[in-house]
Amino acid sequence: MLEVASIAHWIQEETGTSVDGIDCALRYAQFRQYDDRVTAHRAESYQSIQLQNAHFAPIMANGYRVSIGFYTEDPTRESVVTYACYGTLLHRQYVLTAASCLEEYRNHSIIVRANEVTKLTPAKVGEFRVVEDSHYLDEAYVARVHIHPEFSEIPLKNDLALLQLDVNEFSFEKSFKPACLWPRDSFKLQEFQTSGHGPRRSAEVRADESLLNDRRSTELYVISKPLTDGCPLNLTQNQICVGDSVTIVPRTCQLNRGSAMSREIWVLNSNIFDYVFAIGSKGENCGFNTPATFTKIAPYINWIDSVMFKGQVTYNDSTVYYGDECFSISGQNGVCLTLQECPGMVDRARHNKMDLLQASCGFEKDVTLVCCSTEDAVGVDPGDHLRDAVEEIENCPNLYDDLRANRSPYKLRGGSPTAAGVVVSNSSNHYCYATLISKRFLITSASCFERFPSSSETLFRIGRKEVQQSPIAQAFPHPKYDALHDSGNIAVLKLATPVSINREVIPACLWHNESHVPFLLEIAGRNSTNVTVDISTYPLYRKACDTELVARMSHLELCVMYDGSSRSSSRMVCEDQGIGIYNYFARGLYELQVSYLVGVFNRGTGCELDGIGVFTRISSYFQWIKTVVYRNL
C-alpha cells in the first residue's frame, strides 16, 4: 500500500491544487457539516449551531494563563526573547508551570507576560475583513525558580515548577485574575479544556462575513478527556493521560507546554470559579487525538503551599469531628461515626477482615470514631431503596425536570418554595417549619421539634392549602445538639408515608459547599396575618455578625442580615425556628428552578432594623444528614 503522504508533492504539482491539510479543510467549507457538539439541530437543508459548545469559555482561560519567555542578558547586543512555555497564575507573585519546559533554558533569564487581550480591527476600508491582534498588558521578571525537588526528566515525573515573580503592578479584574487549584486527587468531571497554538485561516465564502486574515499562529482551546488507551506505559499515579474529544485538522494544534488542564465550575448563577486540575508536561499534536501527559496538581498542593507561604505562620486544624466527612486510607470518602453506627464495619471486624486502628478518624470523648462509608453505614444492602435514596440526595438538581417551573436567571428575588412545609401537633398550637429533602425525609431545627409534647402525634403538611399530609414516624436530632449553647441545632424527620411529588411539591437540594454561600438568600414563611411572604437576606462576615450578637458564632453557623424592604409586616417570620433559608437557582437551557436549602434558623435578633439571623449551615452537616437518611430507609 502506497502512502499518499509520500507523493503529496507530486499530486500538488500535477493538479495545481494545494494538498495542505488546512487548505483542504477550508475548501468547500460552506458545505461541510459542523461537529455534533456544536450542532443544536440538523435538517436536510440547514443546521443550527451553538458555537459556544465548542469549548469551555476560552476568554476566561486568558485570565490566568501567562506566556513564559527566555532571554540571555548580554549588554553588547539587543536581547531576543523566546516565548516557549506557558503557565498558570496562582498569585500576584507566583506562576505554576512544567519543570521540563524550563530545563532547556536553564541558563537564561525569564520574563512572564500576563493579561492577554484580543482586539479586532478592519484590515482595509471597504473590505469585509478584520485583523486579530493579541497582546499582553502586563509583564514581570522572574526573581526565582522553584523546581520540584523530586523532578526527573527521564523518566518524566514530578514535572512541576513555581516561578516567583519580582514586585509587579498587576491589577486584577474580572477578566484577569488567578486560577484556583483543584485540591482533590479524584474528580468526577470527564471533560476539560486544554490549550494549544497553531495557524489560523478562514474560508472566504461570503462577502458579508467578517473574516480573519491569515496569521502565523493563534491560541486554540480544545475539549479534552482522560484516556486509557494509547497512553504511555510508564505513567505514574500522579500523572494523567489526556486526549481530545474530536479530531482537528492535522498540524493545526500544538500543545502549549506548561499550560493548564482546566474547567470552569459554575456555582449558582453568577459565580464562576476557574479550576486547574493538571499541568501539561508532554505532548505534541493536540488536534489529532495524540495522547498527552499532564501532571496532576492535587498530590502537590502541600509542596505548592510550602513554597508560596514559606515563613508565614499558618494554622491547619486537621481534626475530624463526629459527623464530618472523612477519607479512608484507600481514598474512599465517608462520615466519621462511632463503630456501633457502622454495622458493615462491625461485621468485617467480627470476622477479622479489617484493622479498626487504620479505620480510626478521631475521638469523641473516650469513644473511638471510624470513617464509615455509605455502604458500611447501611449494613445489609436494602437494594433499590438505597439506590433511590442516594439518587434523591446526590443527584437532586437533575431530578424532576418535567415538574420544575421556569425561572429567569436575572430574577434575583422571590421564588416558589415547593419544599417548604409545616409540622403540627394534634394536642398543641405549637408548629415547626420543615423542608422536604426527599419523598420521606425532612429537615427542621432540633430546638423547635423538641418543644412538641412527647405524647402528641405530629403531622407534616405541604403543598397548596397543605393538601398533602403525612405523620412523622421518627425524629433524629443531631447527637451533639445542645440547647444551652445553640450547637448542633438540626434534626432529620422521617415520614410514615412518602409524599407525592408534583409541580407544587418538589424536594429541596442540600447546599454542601462549605467554603461559599450564595450572595442572596430567602426565607419563605407566614406572617402574623397568615400570608406567605418572602424575605431577602444577605450573608455577613463573621466579624460583622459577632459585634451584633451576645453569643459568638461558630464555623458551623451562617449569619445573615434581613432586607429592610420586607421587615415591617413580616416580623414573626424571622423568628420561626425550623424555618429554612433558600437560594433559588435557574438551571440549564430551559432555566428550571432548583431550590437549595442553605440553612435552618437557630437564633437571631428578629426582623427589626439591622436585624440579624443565625442559621445552622446545611453544608456543615451534609455528611451526617446523608448517613441518617441512608441508615433509616
Average pLDDT over residues 575-594: 78
- Give the confidence band of 213 by pLDDT, cuts at 50, 70, 90: very low
Residue type, 564: G
Give the domain extent around 341: 325-378
Whether residue 614 contacts residue 557, with contact meaning beta carbons closer than 8 Å, is answered with yes
Which residue carries 512572564 as its cell? 112
Q: Which residues contact 501 (CB under 8 A, 6 or more apart)?
A: 400, 403, 439, 507
Residues 165 and 208 placed together within one structural domain of the fold: yes
Which residue carries 484556583 as its cell? 180
Joined grid coordinates for residue 532: 406567605
Residues 9 and 149 placed together within one structural domain of the fold: no
CA distances from 587 to 264, 271, 479 (A): 16, 13, 35
Average pLDDT over residues 262-289: 71
**Range with the lowest mean pLDDT among 48-57, 64-73, 382-391, 458-467?**
48-57
**394 or 121, which is more confident:** 394
First to last CA, the chain: 65
Q: Which residues contact 204 (CB under 8 A, 6 or more apart)?
A: 211
Residues 276 and 364 placed together within one structural domain of the fold: no
- Give the confidence band of 212 by pLDDT, cuts at 50, 70, 90: very low
CA distances from 116 to 62, 258, 357 (A): 6, 17, 53
Distance CA 222, CA 234 (A): 25
Averaged confidence pLDDT in the chain: 77
Residue 237, pLDDT above cutoff 90: no
Using the 8-state DSSP alphabet, how is residue 538 labeled?
E
Which CATH number do you get for residue 260? 2.40.10.10
**pLDDT for residue 203:** 45
Residue 286: what are its φ and ψ, rounded to 5°? Answer: -80, 0
**pLDDT for residue 580:** 86
Residue 433 lies in a domain: yes
- Residues 333-372 pLDDT 10s: 788 888 888 888 888 877 776 677 778 887 877 788 888 8
**pLDDT for residue 525:** 62
Residue 56, pLDDT above cutoff 60: no
Residue 59, pLDDT above cutoff 60: no
**pLDDT for residue 205:** 42
- Give the confidence band of 437 by pLDDT, cuts at 50, 70, 90: very high
Residue 412 lies in a domain: no
Which helix (H) or strand (E) segment holds residue 627: the answer is: helix 622-631
Which CATH number do you get for residue 370? 3.30.1640.30
- Residues 409-432 pLDDT 10s: 555 556 667 888 888 887 788 888
What 3-state class would DSSP assign to 629? helix
What 3-state class would DSSP assign to 177? coil
Average pLDDT over residues 364-381: 78
**pLDDT for residue 316:** 56
Residue 314 lies in a domain: no
Neighbouring C-alpha atoms within 13 Å toward the C-beta of 587: 19
Whether residue 127 contacts residue 79, with contact meaning beta carbons closer than 8 Å, is answered with no
Among 346, 378, 410, residue at a domain's last position? 378
Which residue carries 436494602 as its cell? 382
Residue 575: what are its φ and ψ, rounded to 5°? Answer: -115, 10
Residue 108 lies in a domain: yes
Residues 613 and 492 placed together within one structural domain of the fold: yes
Residues 49 and 79 placed together within one structural domain of the fold: no
- Residues 61-76 pLDDT 10s: 567 888 888 887 766 6
The four Cα atoms 441, 445, 451, 456 give a dihedral, to 10 degrees, of: -10
Distance CA 202, CA 30 (A): 11
Average pLDDT over residues 241-255: 67
Residue 51, pLDDT above cutoff 80: no
Residue 431 lies in a domain: yes
Average pLDDT over residues 231-245: 77
Residues 151 and 280 placed together within one structural domain of the fold: yes
Number of domains in the chain: 4
Looking at the DSSP assignment, which residues form a beta bridge with residue 482? Answer: 487
Residues 66 and 35 placed together within one structural domain of the fold: no
Using the 8-state DSSP alphabet, how is residue 157 labeled?
B
Residue 217: what are its φ and ψ, rounded to 5°? Answer: -155, 160
Residues 112 and 25 placed together within one structural domain of the fold: no
**pLDDT for residue 269:** 46
Which span out of 10-14, 191-195, 285-289, 541-545 was modeled with the highest average pLDDT? 10-14
**pLDDT for residue 128:** 47
Residue 179, pLDDT above cutoff 80: yes
**pLDDT for residue 415:** 62
Concatenate the DSSP letters of all residues of 51-92 into one string: GGGGSS-HHHHTTTEEEEEEE---TTS----EEEEEEEEEET
